[in-house]
């Protein structure tokens, strides 16, 4: 029987480390297929999730440094292919997959990323037709954002020169492919808006694969196009290529050349249109002049133009007649109003206190306060009173007061 000293005893850390070594040696880097579940994006930027199938579950860790270039959004239920390394997290004694790369099963990662971003921006209203600005018909300056060495700028300059060489073209050169392209494109859009020296902006590049055109599917570019106060025409790739910048722009053109043709009219067409308008205007003026001349001839044949003094005399006589009627009617009116006024004045005089006095009545007041005396009891003996007559006043002293009771006796 073995003694305790003869047995090899491991610590937990030793066993875990040995298991990790065995797993890493046995599997190394592997591709694993499964369905995403329990996805968590930590505030640190690391991603934690599991992949599963009908028979098992495997924990996965996708560190921030490895997932920084991930094009699409990982979601629960997504079927994926994952490349990574099997190892053990010592503190938990848990084996897990350290992810280095992840791809959707079936559709490509870029295609899924494109559809996810489209849906996000569509919900925010970045594609709404109602907010799109009209493209100016004949801009004085056109801003172009593209590569200075690509075929797109050569095609646009050729179209511009052939259609209307007077229009000024301002190129803001950027990279249209690669990791830094999206930032340069967004900054160029913002710069044109900050300087505000162009009437319309063409954002373009030649054709290519989805990967080649990806800079124009980046969210930073989409938002720069959306916030531009200057109208933006997106002309990326060929007719069959559609990018998110096309959906956000105020107008989409099939190719860079088509964008230049869209915004720059042919000078010959404008000259022909102006010539046509000039001829139509001249014809309209001649026709209007003839109509007015005929109307003038018709008017001059009327009696008022043939005998203008007679018409003036007619009006002068009418004025005299009206003046006479006015004087006659005015005199009658004044006389009638004067008689009415005299009658009212007579009535007023009859009803006035002075009129009453003329009929032999008088008004007596107390001397001390001027109050009218209506009752004999209102005065006392020896009190001075003032009597107003029709002509003059009498001041007297009360010697005796006779009330109604005394009169009755």
Where are the chain's structural domains?
8-106, 128-265, 358-408
From CA 208, how far away is CA 213, in angstroms rounded?
A: 6
Share of the chain above pLDDT 90, in %: 24
Q: Can you count the helices (H) and strands (E) in the chain?
A: 13, 13
15-24, 83-92, 145-154, 322-331 — which is least confidently predicted? 15-24
* Mean of per-residue pLDDT scores for the chain: 83
Q: Which two tokens stand for residue 70?
A: 């991930």
Q: With respect to CATH, is domain 128-265 assigned 3.40.1350.10?
A: no
pLDDT for 103 beyond 60: yes
**Apex CA 220: angle with CA 217 and CA 225, to 5°?**
80
363 closest CA partner among 373, 376, 349, 378: 373
Fold of 8-106: OB fold (Dihydrolipoamide Acetyltransferase, E2P) (2.40.50)
Residue 70: burial class (beta carbons within 10 Å; 0-12, 13-18, 19+): middle
pLDDT for 163 beyond 90: no
Q: What average pLDDT does the segment 358-366 reach?
A: 76
Phi, psi of 389 (to 5 degrees): -110, 180
| H runs (alpha helix) in 239-352 | 244-248, 256-263, 267-300, 303-306, 308-351
Where is pLDDT greater, at 268 or 211? 211
Query: Coil, strand, or helix at residue 172?
Result: strand
Identify the residue whose tokens are 């005893």.
Answer: 9
From CA 393, how far away is CA 409, in angstroms rounded?
A: 32
Per-residue pLDDT band for 353 (boundaries 50, 70, 90) equals low
Q: At what angle do helices 219-227 and 181-195 cross, to 10 degrees?
A: 10
Q: Is the dihedral of CA 209, 211, 217, 220 positive or negative?
A: negative
pLDDT score recorded for residue 224: 95
From CA 389, how far away is CA 86, in angstroms rounded?
A: 139
Where is pLDDT greater, at 69 or 192? 192
Q: For residue range 258-308, list pLDDT tens digits in order.
A: 998 888 877 777 777 788 888 899 889 988 988 988 888 887 777 666 666
Query: CA dist 277 to 138, 265, 267, 273, Å?
Result: 17, 17, 15, 6
Containing H/E element for 233? strand 232-236
């Amino acid at each position: 029987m073995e003694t305790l000293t003869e047995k090899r005893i491991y610590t937990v850390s030793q066993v875990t480390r040995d298991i990790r070594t065995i797993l890493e040696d046995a599997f190394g880097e592997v591709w694993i297929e499964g369905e995403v579940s329990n996805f968590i994006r930590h505030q640190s930027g690391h991603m934690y999730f599991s992949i599963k199938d009908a028979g098992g579950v495997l924990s996965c860790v996708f560190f921030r440094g490895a997932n920084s270039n991930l094009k699409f959004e990982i979601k629960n239920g997504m079927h994926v292919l994952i490349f990574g390394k099997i190892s053990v997290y010592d503190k938990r004694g848990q084996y897990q997959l350290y992810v280095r790369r992840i791809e959707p099963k079936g559709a490509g990662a870029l295609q899924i990323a494109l559809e996810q971003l489209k849906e996000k921006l569509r919900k925010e209203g970045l594609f709404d037709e109602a907010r799109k600005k009209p493209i100016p018909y004949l801009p004085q300056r056109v801003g172009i954002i593209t590569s200075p060495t690509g075929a797109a700028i050569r095609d646009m300059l050729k179209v511009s020169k052939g259609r209307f060489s007077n229009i000024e073209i301002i190129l803001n050169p950027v990279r249209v492919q690669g990791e830094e392209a999206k930032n340069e494109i967004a900054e160029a859009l913002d710069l044109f808006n900050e300087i505000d020296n162009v009437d319309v902006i063409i954002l373009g590049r030649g054709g290519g694969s989805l990967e080649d055109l990806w800079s124009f599917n980046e969210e930073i570019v989409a938002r720069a196009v959306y916030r531009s106060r200057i109208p933006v025409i997106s002309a990326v790739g060929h007719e069959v290529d559609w990018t998110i910048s096309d959906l956000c722009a105020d107008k989409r053109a099939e190719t860079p050349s088509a964008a230049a043709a869209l915004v720059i009219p042919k000078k010959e067409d404008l000259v022909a249109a102006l010539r046509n308008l000039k001829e139509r205007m001249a014809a309209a003026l001649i026709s209007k002049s003839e109509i007015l001349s005929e109307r003038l001839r018709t008017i001059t044949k009327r009696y008022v133009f043939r005998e203008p003094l007679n018409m003036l005399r007619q009006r002068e006589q009418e004025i005299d007649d009206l003046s006479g009627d006015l004087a006659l009617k005015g005199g009658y009116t004044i006389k009638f109003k004067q008689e009415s006024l005299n009658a009212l004045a007579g009535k007023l005089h009859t009803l006035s206190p002075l009129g009453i006095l003329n009929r032999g009545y008088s008004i007596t007041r107390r001397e001390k306060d001027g109050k009218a005396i209506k009752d004999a009891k209102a005065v006392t003996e020896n009190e001075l009173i003032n009597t107003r007559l029709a002509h003059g006043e009498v001041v007297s002293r009360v010697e005796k007061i006779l009330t109604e009771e005394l009169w009755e006796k």
